[in-house]
């Protein structure tokens, strides 16, 4: 398993610790979904970190991904100051994992950026909570790591590696969703006979299908691995999603790939997908 760490500003940790210490055991247990013993000890544990940081005059504290409960991380993520830092640490953790398995980093980063762009532009269609964008981004970064095992059934190997790794800031449920999105980046669509998928709550199954459909389009837009498509503008026209780009390079390979990869998107969203090159 991967051992990752994040840097937390000491001043921010102090403020958060004060907040936890002001709460009762019952409030902590209820809000952060902790057991009563955990709720009783989390405040003093955080205070120890703060006191050590002060004693050694540290500006930042390194926090391993197993030392803070998911609920605390989610609370930290609710603040504008922390959310960008948390996101950066999650992405860094995912990239570290990808590098461990010799992924194509340029392609992975590009697909992740395109996936995020599509997510935000299509919010009226998928209607998913913004938190899902992070899961999509991480899945896009890691969708090909299964190639380290074998390019045959690569998508299934990617799912296996993700599920059995650790990523800073992601709990087991989130990690499973990332693994499933990566698993469905190609080949078969999500199926009820797939146990890991069928055992999810309906809302999670819907989210996985919607996000897998998006990542397939993003992957197709870099089918040549040239990273030529830097920006895409989405336009919804009746029963079509038109992806407008302004590149001057030949994108015929990507246009073919998008057509071939769009079946899941068309099934989930009910819209045909077209990749168009705007004329200058």
Conformational region of residue 241, where left means phi above 0, alpha means psi within -120 to 50, and beta covers everything else: beta
Among candidate residues 172, 104, 173, 88, the one with its CA nearest the CA of residue 137: 88
216, with CB counted inside 10 A (0-12, 13-18, 19+), is buried
pLDDT band at 67 (very low <50, low <70, confident <90, very high): very low
Q: What is the pLDDT of residue 72?
A: 54
In angstroms, how far apart are the furthest CA atoms of the chain?
A: 65
Q: What is the pLDDT of residue 38?
A: 76
Q: How many residues comprise the chain?
A: 280
Beta carbons of 40 and 93 less than 8 angstroms apart: no
Q: What is the pLDDT of residue 83?
A: 63
Global pTM value: 0.72
Q: What is the pLDDT of residue 3?
A: 46
Least confident range from 12-21, 38-47, 201-210, 261-270: namely: 38-47
Q: What is the pLDDT of residue 120?
A: 97
Q: What is the pLDDT of residue 80?
A: 46
Say if residue 75's pLDDT is above 80.
no
pLDDT band at 2 (very low <50, low <70, confident <90, very high): very low
Say if residue 160's pLDDT is above 50.
yes
Beta carbons of 181 and 212 less than 8 angstroms apart: yes
For residues 172-182, give the mean pLDDT: 93
Q: Strand runs (DSSP E) across 201-261, as ranges? A: 233-237, 240-245
Cα angle vertex 208, ends 206, 211, to 5°?
105
Q: Strand runs (DSSP E) across the chain, as ranges? A: 5-9, 60-64, 233-237, 240-245, 272-277
The β-bridge partners of 242 are 235, 274
More confident residue, 90 or 214: 214
Least confident range from 3-17, 113-127, 160-174: namely: 3-17
Say if residue 37's pLDDT is above 80.
no
The phi, psi pair for 75, rounded to 5°, reads -65, -40
More confident residue, 232 or 77: 232
Domains and CATH numbers, the chain: 5-77 (no CATH), 80-277 (1.10.3210.10)
Beta carbons of 137 and 88 less than 8 angstroms apart: no
Q: How far apart are CA 161 and CA 96, in angstroms?
A: 13
Each residue of 235-263: pLDDT tens digit?
Answer: 999 899 999 998 878 899 999 999 999 99
Report the DSSP pairing between strands 272-277 and 240-245.
parallel
């Amino acid at each position: 398993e991967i051992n990752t760490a994040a840097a937390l500003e000491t001043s921010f940790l102090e403020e958060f610790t004060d907040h936890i210490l002001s709460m009762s055991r019952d409030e902590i247990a209820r809000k952060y979904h902790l057991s009563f013993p955990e709720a009783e000890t989390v405040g003093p544990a955080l205070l120890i970190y703060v006191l050590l940081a002060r004693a050694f005059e540290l500006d930042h504290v390194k926090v391993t991904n197993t030392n803070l409960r998911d609920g605390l991380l989610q609370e930290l993520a609710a603040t504008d100051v922390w959310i960008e830092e948390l996101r950066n640490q999650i992405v860094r953790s995912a990239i570290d994992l990808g590098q461990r398995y010799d992924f194509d980093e340029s392609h992975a980063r590009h697909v992740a950026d395109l996936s995020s762009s599509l997510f935000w532009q299509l919010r009226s269609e998928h209607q998913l909570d913004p938190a899902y964008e992070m899961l999509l981004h991480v899945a896009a970064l890691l969708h090909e790591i299964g190639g380290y095992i074998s390019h045959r059934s690569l998508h299934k190997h990617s799912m296996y590696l993700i599920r059995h790794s650790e990523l800073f800031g992601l709990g087991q449920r989130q990690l499973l969703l990332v693994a499933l999105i990566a698993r469905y980046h190609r080949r078969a669509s999500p199926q009820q006979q797939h146990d890991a998928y069928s055992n999810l709550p309906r809302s999670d199954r819907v989210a996985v299908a919607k996000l897998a459909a998006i990542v397939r389009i993003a992957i197709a837009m870099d089918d040549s691995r040239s990273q030529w498509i830097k920006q895409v503008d989405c336009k919804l026209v009746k029963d079509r999603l038109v992806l407008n780009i302004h590149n001057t390079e030949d994108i015929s390979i990507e246009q073919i790939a998008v057509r071939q990869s769009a079946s899941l998107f068309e099934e989930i969203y009910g819209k045909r997908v077209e990749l168009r090159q705007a004329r200058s």
